[in-house]
Structure 1
Amino acid sequence: MSADGREAHKARADRPAPPGWLRKRLAASGRAFSTTLRNPGLLRAQLAFGGAWTAEAAFTVALAVVAFRDGGAEAVGLVAFVRTAPAALLAPVGTAFADRFRRDRVLVWSCLIRAGATAAAAALLAAGGSKLPVYALAVIATAAFRMFRPAHSALLPGLCSTPLELSSANVVRGLLDSVSTLLGPLAAALLLDLSSAAAVFVTSAVLSFASAMLLLRLSYEAPQRGRQQPLRRILHESFEGFQALARYRDAGLLIGLALVQALTQGFLYVFVVVLALEQLGMGSSGVGLLTAALGAGAVASSLGASAFVTGRRLAALEGIGVMLWGLPLTLSGALPHEPVVLGLMFVIGIGNALVDIGLHTLPARLVPEELLARVFGAKASLTALFIAIGAFITPLAIDLFGIRGALIVLGLVAPTAAVLAWPRLRAIDGAISHRDREIEILNRVAMFRTLPMPAVDELASRVEKLAFAAGEEVFHQGDHGDRFYVIEDGEADVIGDDRRIRTLRSGDGFGEIALLHDTLRTATVRARMPVRLYSLDRHHFLSAVTGYESSEDEAKALALDRLTAFNPAH
């Protein structure tokens, strides 16, 4: 080695290592992304989401420019309202199908319908003439797209095994959302500058079709559904998602905050165009640049969130994110200068990423799996409605207060709502933290380890905690069996025909034989020392274990193994 090489090597060796906290954060970030990379089904679902979201971001920018050239700010608001309002009616119906059938198939049809409608709109726009058919096709494309995210949000937990894995998957999806929010408008701005809005529409159609192809034949173990109800009940089933928001109040609160964000997003749809073309004089491409700044902030926030993902304090993060949606609008009204506004759009992007992580992780843990798509569908429906309302009232606020005054006033709505909800958000985070501990214990049981995350989460919500003193019996040989048990802490002996068969320790489950075979207890279980147990009743245990083939196989194998080791005397 040369003298220079030795010096360089010594300099590298003498360079201080990153501090411990930084190494931990980088390791956490790596785990968040490796979770997706190690799971082929999850990876394909995430890539399909990225393609669909990029298509939507580009399409939205191009359609806004077409509407503005057609009739000014009023036309932008009206088209946004007409485009999104029908989706408010159709999204719950589409997501009711996602709770009936395999969710990946619903997603495929959503992408294909969107691709066809967007391609047809591109052809009509290129041909010239009235814009009304273009707007009509945009309504169809948007209605199909509004089904995509709720069905995808309901699918994602079924591809994960633990709360941390679900949180990591939503961080990755949040990053894809952010990158899409950045790349879609940038691509739109470039194509608008070099070609036309029709070229943006074609690009959106191609990306939607590619997303459909990624979702074909997705491999995962879908839960067994009950007996298929008549199709005429689909409308009734659609309303159950809205009813669940009232029944499961914590999920309802989180989605309510997301609706305040959606209202602010409606404000932003109009403000971005008005700021770029009137207040700041940036031209048509300025619409894309301001939206891209929002995407850049979301990318930066998502990358930062990946280093801190633990699944904790997600409700509080959502509250902070909602605040960051509104405050930059108020500051844009106070300081309407191009560099400042670009920076504030960046901050809104940060808020968007923070909201998404909590919003798409926590409701999936607070409502039953069989209602999940409909709950997200109700959220999508109300989101479309609130965006439409926001876009509709923004021109009225501009007429009343002027551009700057409207920015200041409307920007205060979101932070006010977040401050009022803050105490309950902290309480939700505390409850989820306790449930994560219960899931950690349940996942030590082999038959539960193969279950998708929603099933284990549902079991954890049904756990009853029991304690037994040393020498006390949990149940006796010959008793009727109606519960399954998991040891949280301590040890217990399994005794059959007055002899010890085995000793059970923390993370061991017992009591499955009587439940699976509908028979009496085959042995006695007695506390060897003070022991704390998780207890599940027959219904919830059998619903989870027999609802998934892999879990049922594990349970039957364990029962057979234990009966082979000890078969009680008759």
Structure 2
Amino acid sequence: MAGDRASYRDALRQRDYRLLITAFLIDSVGGWAYNVVLIVYVFDRTGSPTWISVFLAASWVPKMLLAPYAGLLADRHERTRIMLASALSALAVMGAIAALVYVDAPLLLILLLAIALAVCVTPYNPAAQALLIDAVGEKDLPAANALFLTVESLVIVIGPAIGGLLLLTGEPVTAMALNALTFLVTALIVIRIQTRSRGGALEEASESRVRQLTAGLRALRSEPVATVLVLYCLLCTAAAATTSVLYVQLSQQFGTGTEGYSYLLAGFALGGVASASVTNRLAAGRLAAPVLAGMLLLSLPFIVTIWVEGPILGTLLQVLAGAGMVIVDVLAITALQRQMPRAVMSRVFALLDAGVYAASIVGSFVTAALLGATDVRTTLLVLGLGFSALSIAGIRPLVLADRRSVNAVAALQPRIALLQQLDLFAVLPRTALEELARSLAEVQAEPGEVLIREGADADALWILLTGQVEVLSQGESRHPQQLPSLGPGSYFGEIGLLRGVPRTATVRTTEPSTLYRVAAEPFLEAVQGGRASSSLLAIANTRLARSHPRLSTESMPAA
């Protein structure tokens, strides 16, 4: 647990991450309070689960249809501007909804504005999730995601609780006004975010719009394990969406009235909070067992609830279900953030969002249809057995992926051990070392072969396994000078990569040598994600002082 707290602190040290999570907290509390009050408001006016599904669909369908375009928008423009425009437009629409609810306007008018609200908020999430990766390093991603989902779970406790209190006032318009206020506060927070993040859509201007829109899908298809995890995330979402319809019925079964809806939501959310520390550790391990366990934790309470009549036990079962959902979500989101190219990250998350909304629509309407055709207990049985069976049936790809991962890591172990011995990578997490080990290209060099030429562009780091190299530099004096030779276990080429300057020396083999070549991109991703070790910066500065003293006196930029 101490390690988890430390990793959370590391993520929270990033100012913009704190702003992102604060904006998320404030906006989500208002959103959940609004959703709870709206669902009960619609049910009280109609008495129909189908009307609840219609209003839920009014929120989800526009997001599903527009998510790919929202992702492209967030990859084309600066992401904080997209988030700000989304929050301000949502503020205006939410104010109009509050006015309609205040006068008990026809539900159709409220429905139309609910659709407009969904359109306004759709671009926010893909932009924020892609911005998160630039606000924290790769090392802190699992903790950052787990903390986000922990806050989300807390929100599902706090938001519905506030919604429940607002229901006691008998004035649903209060929740609508509160939600409008949270959009305003969110906009004010987004203005303070300093990280600037943009995807690669502008560089793809020569491509057709269809290819730009489908870039996220192509990237996702190139990573089969991430694809399977996303499918489990969607199955998990469908299961969770059933509760939006079921909880109103279950609150009647438990004798708590429609206000009991918020109690069940709170129990579901508490499970997510309780599982947060576990999910942070699971993100670095095998996938199949935790994913299946999470799905079964989410699915089996449906079946057990058939025989439950009291609200306390019913709420405790929802605690288990909420824990299962968060486990699956953290694994899927972390896998996406680690494996997807940053240039298309917003479109990947937009694709996930579209799938989430589609799964939510299917889950809610299937539940409403089952409730209309049967009773609550039969519906619970069908849903519990169905989600459990699908979870077990689809686990084989993840089992195979775990086996491949174990074998691949075992094969990489000698390379990982070598990297761990280098002070160059002293602070890198295990996941970053594994990615770096995969990128190593072995090179056999003959005596006299020039590996680096002074003045050339910096394109790679070199690690010397066997042999010896000499280092020559004209430096600022323009007089050739011999610098200390390097032997096995040495590395060179880091100065140009870290400084973003041309090569400062020529490196040439003096005997047959074996080396690893690390291309610039994986090297920089590794040291930028984990932050460069102090020894790496010190050694780079010492080497630079020998040939370019003036450059060495300049501060070394954080890697």
The verdict on a shared fold, with TM-score over 0.5 as the criterion, is: yes
Aligned residue pairs total 526
Q: Give the aligned partner of residue 318 of structure 2.
A: 345
Of 95, 99, 107, 1:123 maps to 99
Q: For each residue in 1:365-405, what CA deviation from the matched residue of structure 2 results, as whole angstroms up to 9, or x when unmatched?
A: 12111111101101101111111111112122123332111
Q: Could you tell me which amino acid in structure 2 is paired with residue 293 of structure 1?
A: G
RMSD (Å), alpha carbons? 4.3
Superposed displacement of residue 128, structure 1: 1.7
Separation in 2, partners of 1:290, 1:322: 19
Q: Give the aligned partner of residue 172 of structure 1.
A: 147
Gaps in structure 2 of 5+ consecutive residues:
473-479, 550-559
Q: Give the aligned partner of residue 174 of structure 2.
A: 199
Per mean C-alpha deviation after superposition, the further-off stretch among 28-37 and 554-563 is 554-563
Gaps in structure 1 of 5+ consecutive residues:
1-24, 566-570
Superposed displacement of residue 284, structure 1: 2.1
Superposed displacement of residue 281, structure 1: 3.1
Of 243, 249, 254, 1:274 maps to 249
Per mean C-alpha deviation after superposition, the further-off stretch among 201-210 and 431-440 is 431-440
Superposed displacement of residue 449, structure 1: 11
Of 153, 164, 167, 1:189 maps to 164
Q: How does 1:420-569 map to 2 (within 5 A)?
A: 420-426=393-399, 428=401, 431=405, 434=409, 441=419, 460=436, 463-466=439-442, 475=450, 484-487=460-463, 493-496=469-472, 501-503=484-486, 508-510=491-493, 522-525=506-509, 533-536=516-519, 540=521, 563-564=547-548
Kindly tell me: are residues 202 and 476 of structure 1, through their superposed partners in 2, closer, same or farther at Cα, counting changes over 3 Å?
closer
Kindly tell me: are residues 146 and 317 of structure 1, through their superposed partners in 2, closer, same or farther at Cα, counting changes over 3 Å?
farther
Q: Give the aligned partner of residue 195 of structure 2.
A: 220
Contact 2:469 2:507 in 1 (8 A): no
Q: Give the aligned partner of residue 14 of structure 2.
A: 39
Contact 1:50 1:176 in 2 (8 A): yes
- Aligned-partner SS, 2:214: helix
Q: For each residue in 1:408-429, what CA deviation from the matched residue of structure 2 results, as whole angstroms up to 9, or x when unmatched?
A: 1112333333323434335556
Q: Give the aligned partner of residue 298 of structure 2.
A: 325
Separation in 1, partners of 2:125, 2:291: 18
Per mean C-alpha deviation after superposition, the further-off stretch among 482-491 and 117-126 is 482-491
Separation in 2, partners of 1:507, 1:62: 64
Superposed displacement of residue 156, structure 1: 1.2
Superposed displacement of residue 483, structure 1: 5.9
- In the superposition, the TM-score normalised over structure 2's length comes to 0.80
- In the superposition, the TM-score normalised over structure 1's length comes to 0.79
Per mean C-alpha deviation after superposition, the further-off stretch among 179-188 and 145-154 is 145-154
Q: Could you tell me which amino acid in structure 2 is paired with residue 503 of structure 1?
A: L
Kindly tell me: are residues 233 and 74 of structure 1, through their superposed partners in 2, closer, same or farther at Cα, counting changes over 3 Å?
same
Q: Give the aligned partner of residue 119 of structure 2.
A: 143
Kindly tell me: are residues 485 and 37 of structure 1, through their superposed partners in 2, closer, same or farther at Cα, counting changes over 3 Å?
closer
Contact 1:83 1:138 in 2 (8 A): yes
Superposed displacement of residue 33, structure 1: 2.3
Separation in 1, partners of 2:88, 2:540: 42
Q: Does 1:288 align with 2:262?
A: yes
Percent sequence identity is 20
Contact 1:167 1:310 in 2 (8 A): yes
Q: Give the aligned partner of residue 371 of structure 1.
A: 344
Q: How does 1:43-62 map to 2 (within 5 A)?
A: 43-62=18-37
Q: For each residue in 1:147-174, what CA deviation from the matched residue of structure 2 results, as whole angstroms up to 9, or x when unmatched?
A: 33332221111112233x1111111111
Q: Could you tell me which amino acid in structure 2 is paired with residue 360 of structure 1?
A: I
Q: Does 1:409 align with 2:409?
A: no
Q: For each residue in 1:208-240, what CA deviation from the matched residue of structure 2 results, as whole angstroms up to 9, or x when unmatched?
A: 221222121412253685755669965652232
Contact 1:117 1:140 in 2 (8 A): yes
Of 88, 108, 125, 2:84 maps to 108
Q: How does 1:246-325 map to 2 (within 5 A)?
A: 246-277=221-252, 279-305=253-279, 308=281, 311-313=284-286, 316-325=289-298
Contact 2:470 2:484 in 1 (8 A): yes
